[in-house]
Structure 1
């Protein structure tokens, strides 16, 4: 599931995931908008809904990262994926495409939630660890991963319980939308990744097609800072961060952490309730396969998968 182990993930995943994780407290600030209780994707926003959009800088308004016990809510994240076959399959397609032809020794899914992607990763690695901050997600993972040799360990993405250079493959899916400032997480990923190792990081993309079109119409540039997007005002003073990122900014942050961009894909390009109701999932996925690489250059979709290498 989620956050600082993940949107997703996880684990990031999801949501995202053994000592008690560190608590980072930001200065007192007004109540934040309501968070999704997992690393799942942004739910569709109806046109009649008022959307709160805030550019997040280093200010008192910056949403805080969550510690593990703040994910321990009465919420079954496995239910989140009901009626999301397209999104789930689109992410499997992307991971298979980015890892095709490779095999790894030790892998970890950071913020992996209940282990949604771990069985897939096991086909590419000899050993897989689900690294998730929330005990409730790890409890759900026991059922999902029953009968496998996948390890399940409670940890956060900014405090990974791995040795330097221990991992050959890292994934962090549906976690970035909980991280307004992912520099600490990127530093940890770089630390535990072996030289020549691979990381796949999914980024909730603010600069997708619809937002680019809107900013062009308004004559305003895309923000380079993370953007805090919510449907409703939070009822929790320390509500989890829920942000979309500028892809170029994220790539720069990853580079500063010592990770080099090798490839990227635009994912969930047809994420639309209208299309999902009108077209069979098989048709949507055929289009998804055809567009993931073609649309990557323009950062078209709401979800961008980055494949990174540690030199």
Structure 2
């Protein structure tokens, strides 16, 4: 829903979904772009993508977000969703996204938001300011010493890092605002989706939800 709203009325020549897993979002992006590439570091996800994307013209390339295999200015649209959870220090990734985007190109980046309503309320009650640095939210000890990071971010800090990379914030949406198992059991799916649609834009200014979608433009 968020991606459709942010891209509505636009069409792009070349797009890539960074860290796109098995390619689910690539199918959506293909309706907004002439050419789409799934850029995914995990071989297992790319193997799964062969089945999901079978019969499409979506490209599948193994690459890391901090080392994108695209030429300077090659892309008009880049998306990176459900990836920032695993990047405590995204400066290199943002620099790469900016590099591969053409001037005026669009990036949509979803950020796991530490400063959502519940955390803000708790910090205020305890008299502790929200951290500006990423916060490790892993609830159990990692099995391996080199386990993938699992963090939430301060949105203002991330927007500043993006600006430093040459990506200017155009708009944002607050997503998963009613993420409650109780509500999901009590209300029909259609009602939950309608409430989500109404609140995404209205609650974006306060970074209310646990997931914030940022729409950015390269200068």
Provide the TM-score with structure 2 as the length reference: 0.99
Gaps of 5+ in 2: none
Query: What's the secondary structure of 1:230's corresponding residue?
Result: coil
Q: Give 1:223 deviation, angstroms.
A: 0.3
Number of the residue aligned with 1:296: 204
1:231 maps to: 139
Report the alpha carbon displacement of residue 272 of structure 1 after superposing the two structures with TM. 1.6
Corresponding residue of 2:37: 129
- Give the structure with the higher percent helix: 2
Deviation at 1:153, TM superposition (A): 0.4
User: What whole-Å deviation, never above 9, does each CA across 1:82-118 have from its counterpart, x for those lacking one?
Assistant: xxxxxxxxxxx10010001100000000000001111
Q: Deviations over 1:43-74 (max 9, x none)?
A: xxxxxxxxxxxxxxxxxxxxxxxxxxxxxxxx
What is the Cα deviation at residue 273 of structure 1? 1.6
Distance 2:164 2:90 in 1: 12
**In 1: Cα distance, 2:109 partner to 2:143 partner:** 30
1:266 maps to: 174
- Spell out the pairing of 1:26-37 with structure 2 (5 A cutoff): none
Match of 2:3 in 1: 95
Map 1:170-249 to 2 at 5 A.
170-249=78-157
Q: How many corresponding residue pairs?
A: 219
- Aligned equivalents of 1:184 and 1:277: distance in 2? 41
Mapped partners of 1:256, 1:137: distance in 2: 31
- Structural RMSD (CA): 0.6
CA apart distance, 1:179: 0.2
In the TM superposition, structure 1's runs of 4+ consecutive aligned residues that sit over 2 Å from their partners are none
Distance apart, 1:275 and its partner CA: 1.5
Higher relative contact order (CA 8 A, sep 6+): 1
SS at match of 2:148: coil
Q: Deviations over 1:149-185 (max 9, x none)?
A: 1000000000000000000000000000100000000
TM-score, normalised by the number of residues in structure 1: 0.70
Note the residue ranges of structure 1 that are not aligned, 5 or more in a row.
Answer: 1-92
Cα deviations across residues 168-225 of structure 1 (Å, max 9, x unaligned)? Answer: 0000000001000000000000000000000000000000000000001001100000
Structure 2 counterpart of 1:281: 189
Aligned equivalent of 2:74: 166
Q: Is 2:164 aligned against 1:256?
A: yes
Query: 2:20 pairs with 86, 98, 112, which one?
Result: 112
Quote the residue 1:147 is aligned against: 55
The structure with the greater share of residues assigned to strand is: 2
